[in-house]
Chain A
Amino acid sequence: MGGIVSTTGMEDIIINALMQTLYMVFWSTLFSVILGFLPAIVLTLTAPDGLRPNRMIYEVLSFIVNVFRSFPFIILLVILIPFTRMVVGKAIGTTAAIVPLTISAIPFIARIFETSLRETNPGVIEAARSFGASNFQIMIHVYIKESIPRMLNGVVLLIISLVGYSAMAGTVGGGGIGDIAIRFGYQQYKTDYLVICSIILIIFVQLIQMLGNHLYKKMS
């Protein structure tokens, strides 16, 4: 996948790019949601108002999350090249782009999940405790269960920002719609590419948001 597409027509180029975008966004969303979940749980547990308050763990983890979030993505992309090579065997290409996308998304989604979980009504947690629930049960049956719609909203936010970040993945040969818009539309003055790519991105973001809103309503 990815690479040279100069000989094919516009339709193929754009469809190919769209598939690359979907590919990058899908996997980086999936991995970051899985990997961001654990720190979110730990942050929620150890927060001052959590089930097992622990200032030390909370502050350290919180600091790490902030550090990763404050890196501009394009810098992270470069810094992570050796790590990417270690994980996928190469540093260039669509698959390779998933690594920095995931790494940058983990602290983002961890923070969003943490916020979602901590918005759980403390009274409900107290009620669960009064019935003899263990911390583990409270986490599963109360925190997570009550927060699912909010966390889902967070995932929508994540997907949309990953679509944006994936455009920068063109720098490491990731391809995708954003990359086509820059290379063809901007650098080669092919306005039609720019317009079509933009429209596709707008539609894509709209669809994701609509789907997210629909699910939120259905689940809450």
Chain B
Amino acid sequence: MIILNDVRKSFQNLEVLKGISMTIEDHKIYGIIGQSGAGKSTLLRCINGLEPYDSGEITVDGTLVSVRDKDALRHLQKRMGMIFQSFNLLERLDVYDNVALPMKFWGMRTNTSEAREKILGLVRLVGLEDKLHAKPRELSGGQKQRVAIARALVLDPQFLLCDEATSALDPEITKGILALLQKINKELGITIIVVTHQMEVVKQICERVAFLSQGCVLAEGRPEELFVRPERQEIKDFLREGSERLPETGTNIQLFFNDDNNMDPIVTQMARNLDLDFSICWAKLEDFRTNVYGSLVINVKEEDFERVSAFLNEKKVTWEALR
């Protein structure tokens, strides 16, 4: 378990982390999302000691992450594999040697049959067994990230830290990488921390997420709690919501759907039961891992508003009136 308590950090006069606290539980996929410049990459680099922090504390299973004790830090880093946006493979090494590299840093032999077995196993896990002796320049972006993932796993880490790992990849390839991360999380029980600005990453794999803005955690929880019905304006802005054009007359009502009431034909029932007309402004459905969440905005006449709200409350639909 990784616990952050009031972590602060400044670059010269610019405070980039303003008291971050969060708990990352074992075996979870934890997302840290926000605009670029929100401090999320810096936060990730503090977690594995690539960057020192000014105050507060970060502990990994009770061990303090501190750049002062170099040896303890190295051992912590061994437990935390990391992958990057730009893959960061060694250009002159083939896939096998790139995956083997971290072992060299730990004085492990990389040419014993045991080591070979392990490296081959990881290369197979990421689906690149036919590229074993290819150099990075012969690989596509997605394949490079797969090599980086295998490399990050070679020291048997407990955590996998992903710094914008899919930001340089196109949507289709991103899906493949995310599926691989999920598989690693499930099959190897590795805790994964994902730093990203891509909503689809959070929606597809994260079980918990922290929304970072200007060095602060604005919200933390399950992605569907945070993003289906965002409360903070910053999150709405991030999702580019609220910018849709809505009718200026009448009242706009947003209805929220989750798994439980998804299937009920609320809207048509309402039209029939109350015998009223309304227009549908926009609607969307979103997948969060295996669940579907949606919202719908309708525009009703001013005089119908009370009847509609009574009906919605009776049906226990989550809704809110938009200004």
B282 within 8 A of A: no
By a CB distance below 8 angstroms, the chain B residues around A134 are 74, 105
A55 within 8 A of B: no
B82-A141 in contact (CB<8A): no
By a CB distance below 8 angstroms, the chain B residues around A126 are 50, 84, 88
Q: Determine the distance from Cα of A132 to Cα of B102 in the docked complex, in whole angstroms.
A: 8
B86 within 8 A of A: yes
Q: Determine the distance from Cα of A202 to Cα of B144 in the docked complex, in whole angstroms.
A: 43
B92-A131 in contact (CB<8A): no
Smallest CB-CB separation from B154: which chain A residue? A131
* Known contacts A126-B50, A142-B90, A131 near B77 by CB under 8 Å: yes
A146 within 8 A of B: yes
B140-197 interface (Cβ within 8 A of A): 148, 151, 155, 161
B92-A145 in contact (CB<8A): yes
By a CB distance below 8 angstroms, the chain B residues around A149 are 92
B89-A132 in contact (CB<8A): no
Smallest CB-CB separation from A137: which chain B residue? B105
B9 within 8 A of A: no
* Known contacts A126-B50, A127-B82, A132 near B90 by CB under 8 Å: no
B57-116 interface (Cβ within 8 A of A): 73-75, 77-78, 80-82, 84, 86-93, 101-102, 104-106
A146-B92 in contact (CB<8A): yes
A127-B88 in contact (CB<8A): yes
CB distance from A132 to the nearest CB of B (A): 4
Q: Tell me the dominant secondary structure on chain B's binding face.
A: mixed
A132-B74 in contact (CB<8A): yes
CB distance from B150 to the nearest CB of A (A): 13
* Known contacts A131-B78, A131-B101, A131-B155, A124 near B92 by CB under 8 Å: no
CB distance from B162 to the nearest CB of A (A): 12
**Which of B73, B74, B90 meets A145, CB within 8 Å?**
B90
Q: Determine the distance from Cα of A146 to Cα of B151 in the docked complex, in whole angstroms.
A: 17
CB distance from B193 to the nearest CB of A (A): 13
By a CB distance below 8 angstroms, the chain B residues around A132 are 73-75, 77-78, 102, 105-106
Q: Tell me the dominant secondary structure on chain A's binding face.
A: helix
A120-149 interface (Cβ within 8 A of B): 121, 123-124, 126-134, 137, 141-142, 145-146, 148-149
Smallest CB-CB separation from A148: which chain B residue? B92
Q: Determine the distance from Cα of A130 to Cα of B155 in the docked complex, in whole angstroms.
A: 12
A130-B77 in contact (CB<8A): yes
By a CB distance below 8 angstroms, the chain A residues around B105 are 128, 131-134, 137, 141
B48 within 8 A of A: yes
A182-220 interface (Cβ within 8 A of B): 219-220
Smallest CB-CB separation from B86: which chain A residue? A123
**Which of A124, A129, A145 meets B89, CB within 8 Å?**
A124
By a CB distance below 8 angstroms, the chain A residues around B91 are 121, 146, 220
- Specify which of A131, A142, A145 lies most central, judged by the most chain B CB atoms within 10 Å of its CB: A131
By a CB distance below 8 angstroms, the chain B residues around A145 are 90, 92-93
- Specify which of B75, B101, B102 lies most central, judged by the most chain A CB atoms within 10 Å of its CB: B101
B82-A130 in contact (CB<8A): yes
* Known contacts A130-B77, A131-B77, A124 near B90 by CB under 8 Å: yes
19 A-B residue pairs with Cβ-Cβ distance under 8 Å, sorted by A, are A121-B91, A123-B86, A123-B87, A124-B89, A126-B84, A126-B88, A127-B148, A130-B80, A130-B161, A131-B78, A131-B105, A132-B78, A132-B106, A134-B74, A141-B104, A145-B90, A146-B90, A219-B92, A220-B92
B residues apposed to A, CB below 8 Å: 48, 50, 73-75, 77-78, 80-82, 84, 86-93, 101-102, 104-106, 148, 151, 155, 161
The 3 A-B pairs with the shortest beta carbon distances in the complex, nearest first, are A131-B102, A132-B74, A127-B88
A residues apposed to B, CB below 8 Å: 121, 123-124, 126-134, 137, 141-142, 145-146, 148-149, 219-220
